[in-house]
Structure 1
Amino acid sequence: MSEVPGLRERKKTAAMLRIQAAALDLFEEHGFTAVTVEQVAAASDVSPSSVYRYFGTKEQLVLWDEFDPQMDHLLGPALDVPVPLDGLRALFREVLEGMGPDAERQVARRIRIAMSDPALVAATAMHTYAITEVFGTYMAERLGRSHDDLEIQVFSHSLVGGLLGAIHHWHGTGFAEPFADVLDRTFVIFTEGLDVVEGRPAD
């Protein structure tokens, strides 16, 4: 299911990871608000314009994920199955298992920073809405329905909201277990009907 990026894309990703790592170091030491893009650029040995060219905004230095481009390529095929939730579950499991412990720690680091600053919380909300629109577009095209179809909208918003809830749970429990395991349980909740069942053991 995975798609190998070309050399140019790999070089771009490597540069972005290097800049992001320097930015996260600064954000952890000084706080997100106190750090400027110019400081990130200096720490990364690039120009401020390069930072903006790669990331667009300061917030994206935290929110950007190296797997985002792969998701753009893989989301359509993952949804083009009889049960879209099964396809998505398999896709996320494959991506997460391919990350390795260092990459997962970096994701946890980004989440910790994102949860600590109001501007980043707001940016995360906008980022989440954009992802919801992507899911809705794919599902509408797959089913030949309007993007505003009620089932499409409820499915997309429930899915992305549930994934965001899984991230909050992972953060709130101190990243105590692999995120792939958290997502597996999240998809169980989806398939059981998004209900809180009395008597189910608490996490």
Structure 2
Amino acid sequence: MSSPQRADRTSPASDRAVTSLRERKKAKTRRTIQEQALRLFAEQGYDATTVEQIAEAAEVSPSTFFRYFPTKEDAVTQDDYDPLLMEAIKAQPPDLPPLTTLRAAFRTAFEAMEPEELDRMLSRTKLTTSVPALRARTMEGLYSTIEMLAGAVAERAGRDPRSPAVRTLAGAVMGVMLPAMFTWVEHDGRIPLPVLLDEALGYLEAGLPI
């Protein structure tokens, strides 16, 4: 006969529930900090806004801010899009060509975003294209995204992610996406970003005809 479960022990299901609740709270805090940062940057300007002001607006301490964002720049440049994109890539049929796979994955990932999230992305993109310090950080992020895409393509194709062919493909994808992002900013988001990205990747898939 098994002994009754001790009251101070939690079941695996309870552990998962607690962990899920903590993760949701962390995600909410992170989102609130970033939202307040973007609001203050728009109202006061990036350089004139301090971490202390952002923390006060988000109702957290400066130390809490730094737990989520190591620097003020990170409150603009960090996002959660890469995991979503990776999931979309993995969900594509295995027989699709690499470029078709990426185009379909980007379409899936961006079309699933809520309007509020796209608004935050637009605000962040405006800042990264206008503030020199943020442009430099954005370039670091681009390198990381290219490596991520190269890894995903290589895994599906059974290739070396460091091979010139794989890296060139990943770089070309990012290369055609950047002008689409610039167009999105120029039109203040009036043209849907998923439409612009899909059009750009379609040009690349067709061999960039002019």
* TM-score, normalisation: structure 2: 0.80
Asked which structure has the greater CA Rg, the reply is 2
How do residues 104-115 of structure 1 correspond to structure 2 at under 5 angstroms?
104-115=118-129
The answer for unaligned runs of 5 or more in structure 1 is: 1-5, 198-203
| 1:38 matches 2:52 | yes
Whole-Å separation in 2 of the counterparts to 1:8 and 1:190? 42
**Residues 44, 87 of structure 1: alpha-carbon distance in 2 compared, 3 angstrom cutoff:** same
**Residues 182, 98 of structure 1: alpha-carbon distance in 2 compared, 3 angstrom cutoff:** same
Whole-Å separation in 1 of the counterparts to 2:152 and 2:108? 20
Higher relative CO (Cα under 8 Å, sequence separation at least 6) belongs to 1
| 1:170 matches 2:189 | no
Whole-Å separation in 2 of the counterparts to 1:91 and 1:74? 5
Whole-Å separation in 2 of the counterparts to 1:81 and 1:54? 39
> Aligned-pair distance for 1:25?
1.2
Whole-Å separation in 2 of the counterparts to 1:147 and 1:58? 32
> Aligned-pair distance for 1:117?
0.5
Kept in 2, the 8 Å contact 1:79–1:88? The answer is no
Query: What corresponds to 2:172 in structure 1?
Result: 158
Aligned match for 2:136, one of 119, 122, 145 = 122
* TM-score, normalisation: structure 1: 0.83
Whole-Å separation in 2 of the counterparts to 1:81 and 1:172? 37
Percent sequence identity is: 36
**Alignment: residue pair count:** 191
Measured against aligned partners, the alpha-carbon deviations of 1:38-62 in whole angstroms (never above 9, x if no partner) come to 2211211112222222123221211
Query: What corresponds to 1:201 in structure 2?
Result: none
Measured against aligned partners, the alpha-carbon deviations of 1:53-83 in whole angstroms (never above 9, x if no partner) come to 2123221211223434323444444485421
Stretch deviating more after TM superposition (138-147 or 161-170) = 138-147
Query: In the alignment, residue 138 of structure 2 is paired with which amino acid?
Result: T
Aligned match for 1:181, one of 189, 195, 208 = 195
Whole-Å separation in 1 of the counterparts to 2:179 and 2:117? 21
The answer for unaligned runs of 5 or more in structure 2 is: 1-19
Aligned match for 1:83, one of 76, 88, 97 = 97
> Aligned-pair distance for 1:101?
2.4
**Residues 99, 122 of structure 1: alpha-carbon distance in 2 compared, 3 angstrom cutoff:** same
SS in structure 2 at match of 1:115? helix
SS in structure 1 at match of 2:130? coil
Measured against aligned partners, the alpha-carbon deviations of 1:163-186 in whole angstroms (never above 9, x if no partner) come to 222111211233221111111211
> Aligned-pair distance for 1:93?
2.1
Kept in 2, the 8 Å contact 1:133–1:156? The answer is yes
Whole-Å separation in 2 of the counterparts to 1:81 and 1:8? 39
How do residues 10-21 of structure 1 correspond to structure 2 at under 5 angstroms?
10-21=24-35
Query: What corresponds to 1:27 in structure 2?
Result: 41
> Aligned-pair distance for 1:147?
2.8
Whole-Å separation in 1 of the counterparts to 2:82 and 2:165? 25
Stretch deviating more after TM superposition (48-57 or 68-77) = 68-77
> Aligned-pair distance for 1:108?
1.2
